[in-house]
Amino acid sequence: MQPHDIIRPSMPVVPPSPSEESPPTTPSFDFVAEPPSVAPPTKPPMGDDDLVARFKAFLSTHKASLIIGTLAALLVINLGISAWLFHKVDQPNVLSVKTTGSSGGLSGDNTLYINAKTKSVGVGTAKPEGLQVGSDITQTARGSANVRLGLLKGQPVVMFEDGSQQQWQLGLSNSSLQIGQPGSSYFSVDKNGSTSLGKDGSSTLTVQAANLAAPNNLNIGNNALFVDSAHGSVAIGAASASGNKLLVAGNFKANGSIQSGGQVIGVAGSAAQPSITFSGDTNTGIYSAGSNIVSITSSGTETLRVQPGNVSTLNGAELSVSGFLQSGSNSPAWQVARFTGRLDGAGTGVVGHGISNASARVILAMAWYESSGGVAKPLSVDFIDGSNFQVTGGTGNAAWRGVIMYTSDAAGW
């Protein structure tokens, strides 16, 4: 056989019409020598465009054929509706496969391009590197488990589909690498390394690792939570902890106990806005009115001040003590009891004091009565026994009052 010889069927292979039933026909092949009408060209081997033009013309008149020839070394399988052209291009060790389109014309694009020298394969593209795909795909489910690789709206995409037509895709979109499903992106990273996770407010991020490493600063929600890994500090509502281990820019609420291994340091505050206060009553609490001063404010008014060597009540506040007072470490604790009553006709007054073992504990007692003209005059303390406090020497039926100062324990005589 000469390089230009062609093998083709001795009879056309025509599919039967749907209404006809006939036994299958097996075509026989005859060798037909068709020497060229002109001498072989001396010009260089024809290019792809010349080859395509020649076979467009040939296929228009040969509807079902198998052709083997040497138009740049080729094999053509023509099925009447479409044809496949296998041919060697003007490069060593390269095989190109082309096909006709639905119109019957031979396509100029490489359907499959194999380069044995560079070990490269192209699908829908020429001169590939590695495995290179230039074919278009869609997001339409195929109905069975598959993996599709191609171009989606001009961007490279890999589609994964399971048997239930659930699809996932990995590819480029808007200059970002994205993972998601058709119409939704769940993971995106751009060329600057900025990364987005999740679809919307219903998405959840679960980290199963024992530790989450952030060698650089971690900023969540535009300083809603800022972790400074270099200094081991955390800021809430701020971009820096400002030298503290924890900084909260705003109100802080704890629904449980707060324990501190060191000082709790707050602002000095004021009578109207004490630094330590209470929910629903924020003008009552503790603050510092000055250096070395601790003050207690009530309803925005300072009522008690403690400073070195002095404790005082302020702004008309009274000091009420339920218990004993002690002045000095060597003095006994003491308490004062106050009594009131009215003298009898003889100018004598008696009142029950309710102090147990009073005769052994009393250290001071005095009384006064109201004389004519509203003048207070002293009464004589007659006695204090185990039950009563008795005074004499006043005007009959006059009002009187007295006090007993007594110790917390029996001092003895």
For residues 221 and 209, the answer to whether their CB atoms sit within 8 Å is no
- Output the DSSP codes for 315-351: TT-----SS-B--STTSPPEEEEEEEEE--TTS-EEE
Strand partners, 281: 278
pLDDT in tens, 267-294: 999 999 999 999 899 999 999 999 999 9
Query: Radius of gyration of the chain from Cα atoms?
Result: 54
**Structural domain boundaries in the chain:** 6-17+24-135, 137-197, 218-247, 266-320, 334-407
Beta-carbon neighbour count of residue 277 at 10 Å?
A: 16
For residues 410 and 360, the answer to whether their CB atoms sit within 8 Å is yes
What gap in Å lies between CA 279 and CA 274, rounded to an integer?
A: 12
Strand partners, 362: 406
What pLDDT score does 322 carry? 78
Mean pLDDT in residue range 287-303: 95
Q: Residue 347: pLDDT band by 50, 70, 90 thresholds?
A: very high
- How much of the chain exceeds pLDDT 70, in percent? 72
Q: Residue 236: pLDDT band by 50, 70, 90 thresholds?
A: very high
pLDDT in tens, 158-213: 999 999 999 999 999 888 999 999 989 999 999 999 888 888 777 888 888 888 88
What gap in Å lies between CA 383 and CA 210, rounded to an integer?
A: 81
Mean pLDDT in residue range 402-412: 82
Enter the pTM of the model: 0.47
- pLDDT of 227 > 80? The answer is yes
Strand partners, 109: none
What pLDDT score does 19 carry? 47
Strand, coil or helix: 173: strand
Strands lying side by side in the sheet with 301-307 = 276-278, 281-290, 293-298, 301-307, 310-313
Look over the chain and give the mean of its residue pLDDT values, rounded to a whole number. 80
- Output the DSSP codes for 263-317: ------B-SSSBSEEETTEEEEEEEEEETTEEEEEETTEEEEEEETTEEEE-TT-
What gap in Å lies between CA 237 and CA 250, rounded to an integer?
A: 7
What gap in Å lies between CA 161 and CA 168, rounded to an integer?
A: 7
pLDDT in tens, 101-159: 544 444 455 678 888 788 888 888 878 899 999 889 999 999 999 999 999 999 999 99
Query: How many residues are present in the chain?
Result: 413
- Output the DSSP codes for 189-252: EETT--EEE-SSTT------SS----SS-EEETTTTEEEETTTTEEEESSS--TTSSEEESS--
Q: Which amino acid is at 184?
A: S
Contacts 24+ apart (CB under 8 A), 99-103: 100/59
Cα angle: 110, vertex 116, 119; to 5 degrees? 90
What pLDDT score does 39 carry? 52
Strand, coil or helix: 359: helix
Beta-carbon neighbour count of residue 387 at 10 Å?
A: 13
